[in-house]
Amino acid sequence: MLPANYHLRTLEPSDYDEIIAICKQVYPTEVPYTLDELEEHYTVFPQGQFVAIDTDSQAVAGVHFTLRLRLLDFHIDDSWDILTAGGTFADHNPDGPTLYGADIMVHPRHQHHGLAHALTDVTRQLVEEERLWRMVGASRLPGYSQRREALSPEEYVEAVLEGELVDPVLTAHLKDGWTVVRPIHGYLDHDEESAGWAAVIQWVNPECPPPSELDLGRFEMP
Say if residue 68 is exposed, middle or buried (CB neighbours under 10 Å; 0-12, 13-18, 19+): buried
Tell me whether residue 176 is in a domain. Answer: yes
Q: Kindly provide the b/e burial profile for residues 118-157, where b requires at least 16 CB atoms within 10 angstroms of the residue's own CB.
A: bbbbbbbebbeeeebbbbbbbbbbbbbeebeeeeebeebb
Tell me: do 119 and 208 sit in the same domain. no
DSSP 15: G
Tell me: do 125 and 143 sit in the same domain. no
Tell me: do 154 and 52 sit in the same domain. no
What local confidence, expressed as pLDDT, does residue 221 receive?
A: 45
Tell me whether residue 216 is in a domain. Answer: yes
Tell me: do 147 and 60 sit in the same domain. no
CATH classification of the domain holding 35:
3.40.630.30
Q: How many CA atoms lie within 13 A of 182 on its CB side?
A: 13
Tell me: do 157 and 127 sit in the same domain. no
Residue after which a domain boundary falls, among 98, 115, 132: 132
Angle subtended by helix axes 35-44 and 16-26, to nearest 10: 110
Closest listed residue to residue 11, CA positions, set 57, 59, 48: 48
What local confidence, expressed as pLDDT, does residue 213 receive?
A: 61
Closest listed residue to residue 123, CA positions, set 67, 200, 61, 74: 67
Would you give the distance in Å from CA 118 to the centre of its chain? 13
Tell me: do 168 and 214 sit in the same domain. yes
Looking at the 3D structure of the chain, how many domains does it have? Answer: 2
Tell me whether residue 73 is in a domain. Answer: no
Could you tell me which residues come within 8 angstroms of residue 103 by beta carbon, excluding any fewer than 6 positions away? 63, 64, 65
Tell me: do 86 and 181 sit in the same domain. no
Q: What gap in Å lies between CA 202 and CA 190, rounded to an integer?
A: 24
Range of the domain at 162: 134-222
Residue after which a domain boundary falls, among 132, 149, 167: 132
Q: What gap in Å lies between CA 160 and CA 86, rounded to an integer?
A: 30
Q: pLDDT (tens digit, 0 to 9) for every residue of the chain, 222 residues total?
A: 788 899 999 999 999 999 999 999 998 888 899 999 999 999 999 999 999 999 999 999 999 999 999 888 888 778 889 999 999 999 999 999 999 999 999 999 999 899 999 999 999 999 999 999 999 999 999 999 999 999 999 999 999 999 999 999 999 899 888 999 999 988 876 788 898 899 999 999 988 877 766 654 454 444
